[in-house]
Structures are given as structure tokens and as C-alpha cells.
């Protein structure tokens, strides 16, 4: 087992030890941390909840498994110098993505945010402060985290924020999903990701391509971090390879009725 896989396993065990097991009991979603189980290469993974169960809360993690369509998303809690390059590569391939941003990103990088919007990408809500939202139990406090980011987006772009929400760190609860739904949000998890977030231990090009290529599947909602140097390095090659395999790229809006 590779070192990064060992670290991911240890992280999962630590999360479990804290009592954050992601399970469905009697149709009710318990507090959990989004995780995936891949049956075999090329097949869609199973998550803590099915597509049908998530749909009750206007939430998704996977598109149509019969369609060779991919949905590209980026999370960014801060700017690490790679977003402009990522935007240029997306332009080259005519691929539109969702950027889930935190409050300080909009405050510190308004020009990049405007560039995302001008180039036809979608900005989503990753909350104002990137808290563990499962610890917020009342609608008023939950609303402040989402509506605070809406206000920043309005100030930066003059537009209303599209109502797509990604829970920070993938930690969620049934109550959170219900509150997001009440606020008009669609919650977006993912079906494909890899360990790209640690800037002190960035994966190699070879490791990243192997992980992403071996696990790509029809309808994949892909999570990459815009802070990753490796992602900026491989993105052009990765999009080229996926297109050569017959995949096209859809908009996250298409996953919701």
C-alpha cells in the first residue's frame, strides 16, 4: 500500500473513532463524512447514500452512470497561484467547471472570481468560514454561513450567487441537508477525488494521473483542489485523455431537475 493510501486509511479510521460514521438508518441520514468505495476500475463508486436517497434533499454525488459525461468541480479555500493557469486550460478545452469558494477567497481574489464568471464557470457556496457545518444545529446560524458568502459574491460580481452548496470537508448531517434545501440550495458531493489538498506533500504527476484515470467513470462528479500544483500540472493532459476516451463535460446544473 502506498504511503498516501495509508494516510487516507488512517484518516478514515480517525473519523470513525470520532463517531462520524456515514450511514443511513431507517431512511434518515446520520452525521457523516463523505467517503467512497470503488468496486472496480471504470465503475461508479458507492457512497454513504445512494443517488435516490440524496435526491430527497436536492443533493447529488453522481450523474447518469449510463452516460459518458463528467462534471468538473474545484474547491478553493484560498488562492495558491494556480487558478489563472487552470482557467486558461479550461478555456483551451472549452470545459466549464464549478468553483466552490470560501469567504476569504472572494475577499482576497475578486479579480479571479470575476474572471471565473466572465469565462462562463459557476461559483458555488463553500461557506463563509469553512466550519464543520454538522455542528451547526439551527437554521439562523447555518443561514449566516451561506448568506454571508452570497453577500460577498454580490459585492464582487454584482450578481446573485448560484445556489450550489458543498459542505466543507465533506462533513454533513441530515439536518444540514434539510437546512440547505430550505434555503434553496442544491448540495453537491463527488464521486471522484484523490489526495491533492496537502501542499507540503503534493502527489507526483504519475500518481495523480493513475488515480484519476483508474477511477474515472460515467457520470463522475470530480473534485479537484484549485490550490494543488499537481492539478495545474496535469489538467491539460488529463482533459485531453478523458476526451480521447469519449467523455464529454456537462454542467452541474444539468444534474438537477
What is the pTM for the complete model shown? Answer: 0.89
**Which position among 5, 64, 75, 138 bears the catalytic label?**
75
Cβ(213)–Cβ(61) below 8 Å:
no
pLDDT value of position 45:
96
Set of cell numbers at residue 151: 453577500
Q: What is the arithmetic mean of pLDDT over 71-76?
A: 98
* SS3 assignment, position 123: strand
Q: What is the arithmetic mean of pLDDT over 138-156?
A: 98
Per residue, the 3-state secondary structure of 45-109, as one string, reads CECCCCHHHHHCCCEECECCCCCCEEEEEEEECCCCCCHHHHHHHHHHHCCCCEEEECHHHHHHC
Chain centroid offset of residue 106 CA? 17
- Rounded CA-CA distance 153/81 in Å is 20
Strand locations in the chain, DSSP E?
Answer: 24-25, 28-29, 32-33, 59-60, 69-76, 98-101, 122-125, 164-165, 171-172, 186-188, 221-225, 248-249
Candidates 183, 146, 192; CA nearest to 168 is 146
pLDDT value of position 40:
87
**Which position among 126, 130, 217, 225 bears the catalytic label?**
225
Q: What is the arithmetic mean of pLDDT over 157-186?
A: 97
Summarize pLDDT for 174-223 with one digit per residue, the tens.
999 999 999 999 999 999 999 999 999 999 999 999 999 999 999 999 99
Active site residue 58: no
> How many other β-carbons are positioned within 10 Å of the β-carbon of residue 116?
26
Chain centroid offset of residue 125 CA? 10
Mean of per-residue pLDDT scores for the chain: 90
Q: What percent of the chain has pLDDT over 70?
A: 88
Active site residue 130: no
Domains of the chain: 3-255 (3.20.20.370)
Summarize pLDDT for 27-61 with one digit per residue, the tens.
445 678 999 999 888 899 999 999 999 999 999 99
**233: region left, alpha or beta (phi > 0 left; psi from -120 to 50 alpha):** alpha
- Rounded CA-CA distance 114/103 in Å is 14
Summarize pLDDT for 225-251 with one digit per residue, the tens.
999 999 999 999 999 999 999 999 999
Candidates 67, 96, 117; CA nearest to 218 is 67
User: Which residues are bridge partners to 62 per DSSP?
Assistant: 220
Amino acid at each position: 500500500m502506498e504511503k498516501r493510501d495509508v494516510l487516507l486509511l488512517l484518516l478514515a479510521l480517525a473519523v470513525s473513532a470520532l463517531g462520524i460514521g456515514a450511514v443511513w438508518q431507517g431512511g434518515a441520514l446520520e452525521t457523516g463524512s463523505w467517503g467512497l468505495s470503488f468496486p472496480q476500475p471504470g465503475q461508479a463508486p458507492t457512497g454513504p447514500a445512494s443517488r435516490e436517497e440524496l435526491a430527497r434533499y436536492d443533493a447529488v454525488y453522481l450523474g447518469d452512470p449510463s452516460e459518458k459525461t463528467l462534471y468538473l468541480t474545484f474547491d478553493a479555500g484560498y488562492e495558491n497561484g494556480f487558478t489563472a493557469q487552470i482557467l486558461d486550460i479550461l478555456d483551451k478545452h472549452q470545459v466549464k467547471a464549478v468553483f466552490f469558494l470560501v469567504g476569504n477567497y472572494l475577499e482576497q481574489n475578486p479579480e479571479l472570481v470575476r474572471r471565473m464568471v466572465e469565462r462562463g464557470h459557476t461559483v458555488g457556496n463553500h461557506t463563509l468560514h469553512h466550519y464543520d457545518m454538522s455542528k451547526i444545529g439551527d437554521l439562523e446560524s447555518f443561514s449566516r454561513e451561506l448568506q454571508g458568502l452570497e453577500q460577498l459574491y454580490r459585492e464582487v460580481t454584482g450578481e446573485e450567487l448560484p445556489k450550489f452548496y458543498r459542505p466543507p470537508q465533506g462533513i454533513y448531517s441530515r439536518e444540514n441537508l434539510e437546512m440547505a434545501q430550505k434555503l434553496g440550495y442544491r448540495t453537491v458531493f463527488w464521486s471522484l477525488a484523490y489526495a491533492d489538498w496537502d501542499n507540503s506533500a503534493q502527489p507526483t504527476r504519475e500518481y495523480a494521473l493513475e488515480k484519476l484515470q483508474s477511477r474515472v467513470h460515467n457520470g463522475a462528479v470530480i473534485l479537484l483542489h484549485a490550490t494543488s500544483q499537481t492539478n495545474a500540472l496535469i489538467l491539460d493532459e488529463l482533459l485531453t485523455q478523458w476526451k480521447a476516451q469519449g467523455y464529454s463535460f456537462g454542467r452541474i446544473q444539468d444534474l438537477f431537475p
